[in-house]
Copies of this chain bind each other. A is one copy, B any other.
Amino acid sequence: MFCTLRAHLLTGLLLFGVAGVSAVWITPALGQDEAAAVVPEAAENAVAEVVAAEEAEEAEVVAFNAADSNYTINTLIMFICAVLVLFMQAGFAMVEVGLNSAKNTVNILAKNVMDLSVGVILFLFVGFALMYPGDNWLFDGVLGEPSSFVALDDPAAPGDYSSSADFLFQVAFAATAATIVSGAVAGRMKFGAYLVYSALLTGLIYPISGSWKWGGGFLDQMGFQDFAGSVVVHAVGGFAGLAGAIVLGPRLGRFTSDGKSVPLPGHNIAFAALGVFILWIGWYGFNPGSQLTYAGAANASATTYIALTTTLAASAGAIAALLAAWALFSKPDLTMALNGVLGGLVAITANCDRVAQWESLVIGAAGGALVVLGILMLDKLKIDDPVGAWPVHGLCGVWGGIATGIFGDLPDGIETVGGFIVVQSIATVVICAWAFFTMLGVFLALKAVGVLRVSAEEEQAGLDISEHGMHAYPSDGVSGGAIA
């Protein structure tokens, strides 16, 4: 027990060390006065503003020109989309809880709450600047210069949207990448190890490869297209999760000694379905909201067209996965349909802006079928990914990247479909390899120092009691609390 605690504390310290050191390094002289200066003037004194607005109502009317209107609408819609993406955290939590054993519920929820919380802090101190370096690269197009806190826009010259909205939207994406991994490693990882790799993923690994595309790095310069992150977000999470699942090994009892696969069913399919509905809804922030990061004006037509292709792909994914599972297993399998929805959504994420309606149906349906195939593949390879994180986010992420080349309108500077497919494939491989091998290193390192996996006894008892000292559903979870 003491050892466990010590390991936990060590990893906790390590985690906050990363944040702390980087903060000190980057902002050596951050005093209250300086910090106060980054509060936007506009927010400083709301009361004064109201008075001023009343006094200068006429001036206001004149001042609210088209540029201001664009800025206001862009910013507020991006904010709402960020809220939708953040809501996906609840969706991931419910899916993972539902598809795992009840004895690991507290652990999964703790991971989900903390990877968001730790991720926000790490992205604030390191990740955001690494991912969007602007002109500040340490190695041009490959590694940005870190810097802490959100540099707020000058209210005198607002850009197309506020930097606060941008940070919220981007940190929600980073948290998504981190939380995807959680599902793949459920049921056997120490909580402290989870906090460490989650911090590294959100603070370093995800933003570095992200900068290669969305920060204007070398993949972007090659012509690589990934509209909202089939590869940049989902495949990174999926392949990081695959690395974790491989290094950890399967849960006890998942494969028999003679190699037979023994499915370990989840404990609450209603939670899983609720989670998928929430994720579907959240994706309307993920994909349509990304339009705002590209276009100067809130392009409402494009934004909603993206919502349309997203919807069609999700639906086609569900139908394809259900039919594939029905054909293969002679029953309409709900978990496959649910993962099919997600597979369709992941696949359309890279190309939702540049494919026709019927193409979005094909891309989504293929995503749904790939999920079923991917789950069977992992089973054959004896890799235990409890919620299907790699099939959904890794495999369908890769498919989304390549499908962009096959179906998507050609970007400027690329002349042929063949050329586009090559560019998309190379970039997809580069990003997946980056996520897989860096995270493989992280997991191997954690394993080497003995803080990765819980003991067999702890696993058998469940992580809820062994790692957190509590049950998710005490006193049989149904007939009541302690005095029932």
Contact = CB atoms under 8 A, between A and B. Distances in A.
A398 interface: no
Nearest to A265: B474
Interface residues of A, number: 177
A281 B469 CA distance: 28
Given A318-B114, A468-B332, A470-B334, A50 B295 contact: yes
A284 to B, nearest CB: 5
Contacts of A32: 356, 359
Interface in A300-332: 300-308, 311-312, 314-316, 318-319, 322-323, 326, 329-332
A75 interface: yes
B155 A301 contact: yes
Interface in A130-158: 149-150, 152-153, 155, 158
A300 B35 CA distance: 20
Contacts of A333: 468-470
Given A90-B274, A319-B118, A300 B72 contact: yes
B355 A474 contact: no
B165 A307 contact: yes
A281 B86 contact: yes
A56 B75 CA distance: 21
A353 B480 CA distance: 43
A73 B74 CA distance: 10
A477 interface: yes
Given A307-B168, A318-B114, A334-B470, A269 B478 contact: no
Contacts of A171: 311
A106 B469 contact: no
Scoring A65, A171, A265 by chain B CB atoms within 10 A of each residue's CB, the highest score goes to: A265
A310 to B, nearest CB: 9
B93 A274 contact: yes
Contact of A299 (B8, B43, B251): B43
A77 B75 contact: no
Interface stretch (A96-104, A229-237, A442-450): A96-104
Nearest to A195: B332
B412 A48 contact: yes
A125 to B, nearest CB: 10
A45 B410 CA distance: 8
A115 B82 CA distance: 28
A240 interface: no
A13 to B, nearest CB: 10
Given A64-B70, A308-B168, A113 B273 contact: yes
B70 A66 contact: no
B120 A311 contact: yes
Contact of A303 (B76, B117, B479): B76
Interface in A18-50: 30, 32, 35-36, 38-40, 42-50
A311 B128 CA distance: 15
B38 A297 contact: no
Contacts of A335: 470
A476 B158 CA distance: 57
Contact of A301 (B12, B75, B191): B75
A1 B49 contact: no
A219 interface: no
A254 to B, nearest CB: 8
A42 B71 CA distance: 19
Scoring A84, A103, A273, A330 by chain B CB atoms within 10 A of each residue's CB, the highest score goes to: A273
B76 A66 contact: no
Contact of A76 (B57, B73, B86): B73
A171 to B, nearest CB: 7
A277 B97 CA distance: 14
A264 interface: yes
* 3 pairs of A and B residues whose beta carbons are closest in the complex: A101-B481, A53-B296, A35-B356
21 contacts: A35-B357, A38-B357, A54-B296, A75-B300, A86-B280, A94-B270, A97-B270, A103-B479, A104-B481, A109-B273, A114-B319, A114-B337, A117-B315, A117-B341, A149-B358, A267-B473, A268-B270, A331-B467, A460-B483, A476-B479, A477-B478
Given A12-B326, A39-B355, A43-B305, 20 more contacts: A30-B358, A71-B300, A72-B298, A78-B304, A83-B84, A89-B277, A102-B484, A114-B337, A120-B312, A124-B357, A162-B301, A265-B475, A266-B481, A267-B480, A268-B477, A331-B468, A331-B469, A462-B484, A473-B478, A476-B478
